[in-house]
Amino acid sequence: MPLALVALVISAFGIGTTEFVVSGLLPEIANDMHVTLSTAGLLISGYAMGVVIGGPVVTALGIRMPRKAMLILLIVLFITGNLLAAVAPDYWLLMIGRVLAAICHGAFFGIGSVVAADLVDESKRSHAISLVFTGLTVANVVGSPLGTFVGQNLGWRSTFLMITGLGLISLIGIIALVPQQPVQEGASVRQELKVLALPQVWLAVGIAACSIGALFAAYTYIAPLLTEITGFSSGALTPLLMLFGTGLVIGNLLGGRFADRAQITTLLAFLGLLTVVLVVFTFTAHAKIPAAITLMFLGGAGFGTVPAFMTRAIDKAQGAPTLGSAIAASGANLGISVGAYLGGRTIDAGYGYTSPIWVGVGMAALGLAITALSAALDRRDKTTTVGALEPAAHSG
């Protein structure tokens, strides 16, 4: 593995930690900031919207900058946002810090995926992208639980100071290890925005939103499901969520390996598996050991799609890979927001804590349909290309 990838993985770990850790610190933040728990919860929604909107905008505006310089700028933004969160005297400055960090998140995974893909041979691009996202998945297993532990024992501000330190390490790593990559020839905002007219890019975004949305429709409400339905104690949640995080890591790495061989087949396989696992989970949620096993498979099936849809967005962006990648990353976060919202509505409607899982089933099935449509367009384009070449061959 190129050392530059190590720097990207460390950065992804820090970014993933700051995204996920707030969920475990909401009571402490709400109490210290003198706001309600639901108001504190908006720190998660604000972060998500910062990723969805800020990522593509910043990526497009920085398209004429060298990618290494953009990564450095983004990590500086990440450090600034988390440092502001650590010292924020009031709720709204804390929110601003979260949004600044979120803007880094959206653009970093878009640019970082392209940088990672360019560091390796053509046949290993999906695997390289999966390694970057490994940092994000490991944050679920190690970073978020560690940050929650630090915040609960030393105060939530200590957690953001810890993450700021991770940002400084990431900055040093990127400066020292990531090679300079030339600015894409003819790059401009207008050229990048042409990606918005490409159907296959939007289909890749749809796959991203549906696959990750399906995963988080179920996962967002996993704590009450495991305690109220399965019967686990609240103390068992940390090891159970670490088990889920382990599934994320394994699925992400396997997805990267398989996607280098066949993108569409990988997407269909993991989305199909995700659909089945979600349906099974509605039954296994009522028994402890089967629920724990299913939870790990849920993480693996859900995140196994990530390297494939990220590589596909880069491939289909036709001269604008950075923005295509950033839009796909934002699509995944939009899917998280939609899945969590719809799952919450089913609970509010009185259908119980297993009802969000069925929202996930529907989103995964929609993802399968979008993937099939994208594959059909591939076949049509290939047929059109062959048909156009045959007359030229005969005339020669």
Helices (H), 178-198: 189-193
| Amino acid sitting at position 293 | I
Q: How many CB atoms lie within 10 A of CB 46?
A: 16
Contact 29, 94 (CB under 8 A): yes
Domain layout of the chain by residue ranges: 1-178, 187-390
Whole-angstrom Cα Rg for the chain: 21
> Residue 93's Cα: distance from chain center in Å?
25
The DSSP annotation for 17-59 comes to: HHHHGGGGGHHHHHHHHT--HHHHHHHHHHHHHIIIIIHHHHH
Q: Which CATH architecture has domain 1-178?
A: Up-down Bundle (1.20)
Enclosing H/E stretch for 230: none
Retrieve residue 278's tokens.
């979600």
187-390 matches 1-178 in CATH topology: yes
Please report how the helices 199-219 and 288-303 are oriented relative to each other, as an axis angle in degrees rounded to 10. 160
What is the DSSP-derived secondary structure letter of residue 155? -
Report d(CA 32, CA 316) in Å as an integer: 47
Report d(CA 127, CA 133) in Å as an integer: 10
Q: Give the side-chain half-sphere CA count within 13 A for 41.
A: 7
Q: What are phi and psi of 291, to 5 degrees?
A: -65, -40
Nearest residue to 55 via CA among 281, 284, 362, 326 = 326
Please state, in angstroms and rounded to a whole number, the distance separating the CA atoms of residues 353 and 21.
23
pLDDT of residue 78: 93
pLDDT of residue 241: 80
CATH number for 187-390: choose from 3.30.920.30, 1.10.357.10, 1.20.1250.20, 1.10.1060.10. 1.20.1250.20
For tokens 């382990």, the residue is 246
Q: List the chain pLDDT tens, one digit each, 396 residues.
A: 678 888 898 999 999 888 878 877 777 888 899 888 667 777 877 887 888 888 788 877 777 788 888 899 999 999 999 999 999 999 999 999 999 998 888 788 878 888 888 888 877 878 888 888 888 888 878 888 888 788 888 988 999 999 999 999 999 999 998 888 766 665 556 666 777 778 898 999 999 999 999 998 888 788 788 888 999 887 787 788 888 888 998 998 899 889 888 889 999 999 999 999 999 999 999 999 999 999 999 999 998 999 899 888 888 887 777 778 788 888 888 888 888 888 888 888 889 889 999 999 999 999 999 999 999 998 887 776 555 555 555 555
Q: What is the DSSP code string of 104-136?
A: HHHHHHHHHHHHHHHTS-GGGHHHHHHHHHHHH
Q: How does DSSP classify residue 139?
A: I
Please report, to the nearest 10 degrees, the dihedral formed by the alpha carbons of residues 359, 361, 364, 365 taken in order: -110
Q: Which one, of 138, 196, 100, 126, lies nearest residue 9 by Cα?
A: 138
Exposure string for 190-224, b = 16+ CB within 10 A, e = fewer:
eebeebeebebbbbbbbbbbbbbbbbbbbbbbbbe
Return the pLDDT at 179. Answer: 85
CA–CA distance, 118 with 149 (Å, rounded to integer): 37
Tell me the pTM.
0.79
